[in-house]
Structure 1
Amino acid sequence: MTVTSFDRRPEPDGIARVTSTAAELLEVLWGRASTAPASASQLRLLHILEHHDGINMRTLAASLASTPPATSRLFDRLQAAGFVEREHSPEDRREVRLRLSGRGRAFLTDLRGRREAELRAVLDLMPRTKRTALAEGLQAFCAVAAARIHDGTQGSDSKSARTTPPGAAVPPVTGVRATGLP
């Protein structure tokens, strides 16, 4: 894999290429921190439940852009592994709430730890000033991306997702995980 380079004052197209390359490299690094016994689809389901505890199957299916039957089968496999649980709603016994189990939470915590160890190994090799610049850039990126996801902004050329003027300070982003889920 060739790492894409860009000039000192990059335009969004150049940054998009470099970011795409970085995401691909992250996938390779994170591949070293195996997601077994969960597939990529199952991992996505676990992340959604982590952020939306107690949702129903229909909402989960919509979040996965899948059908309720396919989502139910995916959920069943994770339930058999002990990663998720179903519980009846106290308000309406017909409503089933879906939750991440303690084992599922432990799996995600362990997976994140292994992934972060892979990242630390790379970051330790970077000069401190470059790490600082990366952190500032990623913080700004996360703030705008989270706002775009939250607001449902669409379109590659839309400026409406910009929450701060270019070059303005961006406050620290909390609660945004590497999963990209709000």
Structure 2
Amino acid sequence: MTVTASRPRPRPDEVARVTSTAAELLEVLWGRASTAPASASQLRVLFVLEHQEGINLRTLADSLASTPPSTSRLCDRLQAAGLVERVVSATSRREVRLYLSRRGRAFLDDLRIRREHELRAVLDRMPAAKRTALLTGLEAFCDTAASQIHHDADSSPRSA
């Protein structure tokens, strides 16, 4: 019997603490890969738009726990940088839909490549069995988190 097999099941608070520490370490590692020309707040907008393509400004503001005017200013700057496109809704001229531009997608792709380079330097030093366990756990976490985010977005009140 291995030590891992006899380890008691971790409590959610213990896993949350370690996950928070991991997220903080990721921020340090990822800080080595500049996010310019996007700020941290703008980067959050890009990530939301990538996963909820074509949402309106109010829904985006709700997703960011922000106000529509602040979110609109963020989108103004992202549009000026060529990272976001605004498209008038086909059903209502008053509603504007938000999309990542081709340049926005390329920016996120490039950022991910640079971030993954920083991660590989750490992962290369981990034993293969630990990498496998990490991958399994992270896949489950990502599936659950994405489901929760989509559920929250679906249950939030919407208006144009």
TM (norm. structure 1) is 0.74
- 2:77: which partner in 1? 77
What is the aligned residue count? Answer: 146
Equivalent residue letter for 1:115: R
Bigger helix share: 2
User: Pairwise CA RMSD of aligned residues?
Assistant: 1.7
Cα separation, partners in 2 of 1:59 and 1:112, compared to 1, 3 Å: same
Percent of counterpart pairs with the same letter?
Answer: 75
Counterpart Cα distance in 2 of 1:131 and 1:48: 28
CA displacement 1:6-30 (0-9 Å, x = unmatched): x943333322222111111001001
- 1:16: which partner in 2? 16
Confirm or deny that 1:103 pairs with 2:110: no
Structure of greater relative contact order (alpha carbons < 8 Å, 6+ residues apart): 2
- 1:128: which partner in 2? 128
In the TM superposition, residue 137 of structure 1 has moved relative to its aligned partner by: 1.8
- 1:55: which partner in 2? 55
Q: Which structure 1 residue ranges, 4+ long, deviate > 6 Å from structure 2?
A: none
51-60 or 86-95: which moved more? 86-95
Counterpart Cα distance in 2 of 1:56 and 1:13: 35
TM (norm. structure 2) is 0.83
Cα separation, partners in 2 of 1:124 and 1:106, compared to 1, 3 Å: same
Equivalent residue letter for 1:27: E
Extract unaligned runs of 5+ from structure 1. Answer: 1-6, 153-182
In the TM superposition, residue 56 of structure 1 has moved relative to its aligned partner by: 1.3
Counterpart Cα distance in 1 of 2:150 and 2:87: 28
In the TM superposition, residue 118 of structure 1 has moved relative to its aligned partner by: 0.8
SS of the residue corresponding to residue 87 of structure 1 reads strand
Counterpart Cα distance in 2 of 1:94 and 1:149: 27
Counterpart Cα distance in 2 of 1:143 and 1:52: 16
Confirm or deny that 1:137 pairs with 2:137: yes
